[in-house]
Chain A
Amino acid sequence: MTAVQTPLRVDEAVAAAYLDKSARLRAATPEQAAPELAEIATGIRRDVLTTIQAARMGHVGGDLSVTDLLVTAMWGTLRLDPRDPSDPQRDRFVLSKGHCAAALYATLASCGFFPRERLTDFMAPLSPLNGHPNRVKVPGVETNTGPLGHGFPVATGCALGAKLRGEDWRTIVVLGDGELQEGSNWEAAMTAAHHGLGNLTAVVDRNRLQQGARTEDTKALEPLDAKWASFGWETRVIDGHDHAAIKQALEPSTTGRPVAVVANTIKGKGVSFMEDRVEWHHKVPTDEQVRLALVELAG
């Protein structure tokens, strides 16, 4: 077995540090937690760029738009334990927009689910770090995503299961905005509202770009917050790069209804020449572009 094939195992030291720090950030106010969450997110963005640089493949634009949502969910909101990723009482995090696997993997590694050095195996032959997340191979992944419109119904089933059991763990699912053109999402939205799943939060990474064009030029989603509200969801619209706002929006439902967070984001966020440009959906940066991007992200 080559090093690339080696199964992913917890990084004990990183996991221990994560458990301490994430407990503190969860308990902190959004404003208190925001600076540290921002610092972690910058590290994730850097790891996304070098991960994609090594693989020479990936979806960098969406990775950079979703990063702050991933970091705030995993570091500042959910109860996760990288040492025991199958704990029945864990909170569930589902990345429905599975093509942003690089950002997910970088965030999972930052928590210690597996060693950060393994990010260089992203999409290598026989690597567990597939181009789209595989729960059997990657600790911390709840369901295999990639085809769009899948993660949300599965997350709805998770939340329904917790409710049936009378257990208090939560489920957060992150969706792409273009993904909402898949009808299966709206089936799940109806199911979650019908069952009053206040333990479920759906976050839309609203970067307004899909693979080939703007969402509003392809098949318009607006008025998106009104759509969620009309489906019976408690709806929160935020700046998806403001960590305090994200943490506040990820607070549990106050109404007993499921919560939809429309997080307005910028595709390619943090790298000036990628921001809000459709071609960076899955364009691979050159080594020089990665160097320039890392300089920008060094602040």
Chain B
Amino acid sequence: MTAVAEQAPTFDCRADFADELAALARADERVVAVCNDSVGSSNLVKFREEFPDRLINVGIAEQDMVGVAAGLANAGFIPFASAAAPFLTGRALEQIKADVAYSERHVVLCGQSPGMAYGELGPTHHSIEDISWMRAVPGLRIVVPADPRQTRDAVRWAAECGRPSYIRIPRFKVPEVTPADAPFREGRAVRLRDGGDVTLIAIGTMVSRVLQAAELLAADGVAARVVNMTFVEPLDVAEVVAAAEETGTIVTAEEGLVSGGLGAAVAKVVAEHRPVPVRMLGVPAFAPTGSTAFLLDHFGLNATGIAAAAREALGRA
């Protein structure tokens, strides 16, 4: 069972992304990075110093960035195309569809600072839609690491998997939540806590928060199971069905748009396999101004909000 201490150290996962990418580049000369003037925000300054020829900065041009990455894959490279998630997935959506996914090119799309990481900058710079958009692209794998360990695992997995993928890399600081012995496998969730009354399913920045919510629920006598789904595509169907069958109630939590995201993916499985009540937490609309922490609280995406939603779903509000 994993618990998160209130004062556990927290991390910006971009550093782990960059370190792991540099390690991969040292081991495999096919690994290159492509970015859109985001050398700093993608944390690629050290990568550029070590591999000046293998950091291709196309300037502020996301469509070109993804097309060029697909061309580099054609030439035998393994390109990591890295940019702020809203611009990567929004501006270059058709390139992601046609040049990468439909063309079956092994390009790793790296969405930096997703969700409401750029809180005060407003909805133009928020990336609450990215998971919904990427889910709508056939053949694209979607992984949302929850902590530094999973970020490193995701980068290694993406380089090896041979197929197009989208990694959503947290910027809002998160604690380590993944046990050292937990395997990282495509399409497999990580069960962090057992319980029989309700299952809390989360991704990314929400995983540590549902763990905290589980502590609050335990104090009320509610045994919550906690699942870090990790892969939105392919989804761990068996883990979702087990949650429905064994706990009877599911709450999902994501730092993103409710429509079309993790919750929708879980609800589809539940509806088809084992209908039970599902409560979906996330961002319902364009967000107001505020820091990331403020906005997460504003939308009830914190321990108390998640615990309250679980009690409500259980009829114990």
Q: Which of B56, B66, B103 has most A Cβ within 10 Å?
A: B103
Q: Does B67 contact A153, Cβ atoms closer than 8 Å?
A: yes
The A contact surface, by secondary structure, is helix
A143 near B: Cβ within 8 Å?
yes
Determine whether B2 belongs to the interface, using a CB cutoff of 8 Å to chain A. Answer: no
The A-contacting residues of B in range 65-91, CB under 8 angstroms, are 66-77, 79
> Nearest residue in B to A195 (C-beta to C-beta)?
B56
Q: How far is the CA of A164 from the CA of B61 in the complex (A)?
A: 21
Instruction: Select the stretch in A46-54, A110-118, A184-192, A248-256 that faces chain B.
Output: A184-192
A135 on interface, CB distance cutoff 8 Å: yes
A155 to B71 CA separation, bound complex (whole angstroms) = 6
Q: How far apart sit A92 and B61, CA to CA, in the bound complex (Å)?
A: 23
Give Cα A157 to B15, complex, Å: 27
Cβ–Cβ < 8 Å partners of B58 in chain A: 187, 191
List CB contacts (< 8 Å) of A130-162 with chain B. 134-136, 142-147, 149-150, 152-162
Interface flag for A125 (CB, 8 Å):
no
Where chain B touches its partner, the secondary structure class is helix
The answer to whether B64 has its CB under 8 Å from any CB of chain A is yes
Whether, in the assembled complex, B284 has its beta carbon less than 8 Å from a beta carbon of chain A, the answer is no
Q: Are A136 and B103 in contact (CB under 8 A)?
A: yes
- Chain B residues within 8 Å of A154, by CB: 67-68, 70-71, 74, 99
Q: How far is the CB of A187 from chain B (nearest CB, A)?
A: 4
Q: Is the CB of B74 within 8 A of A143?
A: yes
Q: Give A150 to B103 CA distance when docked, in angstroms.
A: 12
Give the chain B neighbours of A164 by CB distance below 8 A.
32, 53-54, 72, 75, 77
Q: Say how far A199's CB is from chain B's closest CB, in angstroms.
A: 11
Inter-chain contact B75/A158, CB cutoff 8 Å? yes
Q: Is B12 located at the chain interface by the 8 A CB criterion?
A: no
B63 located at the interface, meaning its Cβ lies under 8 Å from any Cβ of chain A in the complex: yes
- Residue numbers in B under 8 Å from A136 (CB-CB): 103-104
CB distance from B57 to the nearest CB of A (A): 9
Q: What is the number of residues of chain B that contact chain A, defined by CB distance less than 8 Å?
A: 30
**Does A161 lie within 8 Å of B77, measured CB to CB?**
yes
Q: Are B98 and A161 in touch, CB under 8 angstroms?
A: no
State whether A156 touches B67 (Cβ < 8 A): yes
A152 and B68 alpha carbons, distance in the complex (Å): 9
Residue of B nearest to A184 (CB): B63
**B72 in contact with A160 (CB, 8 Å):** yes
B294 at the interface (CB under 8 A from A): no
Whether A157 pairs with B76 at a CB distance below 8 angstroms is: no
Closest A residue by C-beta to B36: A187
Given known A-B contacts A143-B70, A144-B99, A144-B103, A149 and B75 have beta carbons under 8 A apart: no
* CB of A107 to closest CB in B, whole Å: 20
Give CA–CA (A162, B74) in the complex, Å: 10
| CA distance in complex: A162, B79 (Å) | 14
Q: Residue on B with the closest CB to A152?
A: B67
**Cβ-defined contact, A144 with B102, below 8 A:** yes
Q: Give the chain B neighbours of A183 by CB distance below 8 A.
A: 63
Asked, given contacts A143-B103, A154-B71, A164-B32, whether A190 binds B76 with beta carbons under 8 Å apart, the answer is no
- The reply on B249 being an interface residue by CB < 8 A is no
A88 interfacial contact with B, CB 8 Å: yes
B261-291 Cβ-contact flags toward A at 8 Å (1 or 0): 0000000000000000000000000000000
Binding site for A on B (CB under 8 A): 32, 53-54, 56, 58-59, 61, 63-64, 66-77, 79, 94-95, 98-99, 102-105
Sort A-B residue pairs by CB-CB distance and give the 9 closest, nearest first. A157-B71, A161-B75, A153-B67, A187-B64, A157-B68, A187-B61, A184-B63, A158-B71, A154-B71
Can you add 13 more A-B contacts, CB < 8 Å, to A164-B72, A164-B77, A187-B61? A143-B71, A145-B98, A150-B94, A152-B67, A153-B67, A154-B70, A157-B70, A157-B71, A157-B73, A160-B72, A161-B75, A161-B76, A164-B32
Complex A-B: 21 CB contacts under 8 Å: A143-B74, A143-B99, A145-B98, A149-B63, A150-B98, A153-B64, A153-B71, A154-B68, A156-B68, A157-B67, A157-B73, A157-B75, A158-B72, A160-B72, A161-B75, A164-B54, A183-B63, A187-B58, A187-B64, A190-B61, A191-B61
